Chains A and B, each alone.
Chain A
């Protein structure tokens, strides 16, 4: 069985400061892990994915995430937040061809 826990439902940062969105996962097999972003009333856009290659994954818009097997974590980071980063972020886990399992989401607010 798989599960994913996003540790914060809401994160607020000032523009230009670092972003950290936390995600822990549980999976019986070697997982694939994803981060998606959703702007209001839009579909989900893939930010990045981990599939057992390099543990540090770089994505779009300056985001990156590090897979830490010992901590079962896949936290999303960005060095400097922009106003346009304000959105909902979802951490997702999958193994093979099983359906994706979504976290409940973290809403990121960016303060000018």
Chain B
């Protein structure tokens, strides 16, 4: 059963703690992405990776870190430096077809800072 999985679905964190969100895909996609979603603001790009062992900052990378040690996995760490981390986090990966790339999304992780 192919797809993108994110875990956990809901995550609670105390202020000052780092937390890592998991994203795994078995679609054999090279490119993977992390987005943050806040009400009324659409999706904003945090980090993306187009190949293993390489990643680039997106529009709102401050307070976040990522790694891409395996093609299938692209974990996101929300650090204590992120001032307002409560949000819905979405992971995505790109397929490369003849008609151009298409992005597919995981089910999301809702992070709440207590």
Which residues in A have some Cβ–Cβ distance to B below 8 Å? Answer: 9, 32, 34, 36, 41-46, 49, 51, 53, 90, 92, 94, 96-97, 99-100, 102-105
Contact = CB atoms under 8 A, between A and B. Distances in A.
Contact of B42 (A41, A43, A97, A104): A104
Which secondary structure dominates chain B's binding surface? strand
Please classify how large the interface on chain B is, using the bins under 10, 10 to 19, 20 to 34, 35 or more. Answer: 20 to 34
A42 B108 contact: yes
Interface in B2-56: 4, 6, 31, 33, 40-45, 48, 50
A94 to B, nearest CB: 7
What are the 3 closest A-B residue pairs judged by CB atoms, nearest first? A43-B105, A51-B99, A104-B42
A43 B45 contact: no
A23 to B, nearest CB: 12
B90 A43 contact: yes
A103 B110 CA distance: 21
26 contacts: A32-B101, A34-B103, A41-B88, A41-B110, A42-B108, A43-B4, A43-B105, A43-B106, A44-B43, A44-B90, A45-B105, A49-B99, A49-B102, A51-B99, A53-B99, A90-B42, A96-B100, A97-B31, A97-B50, A97-B101, A99-B48, A102-B42, A102-B44, A103-B42, A104-B40, A104-B41
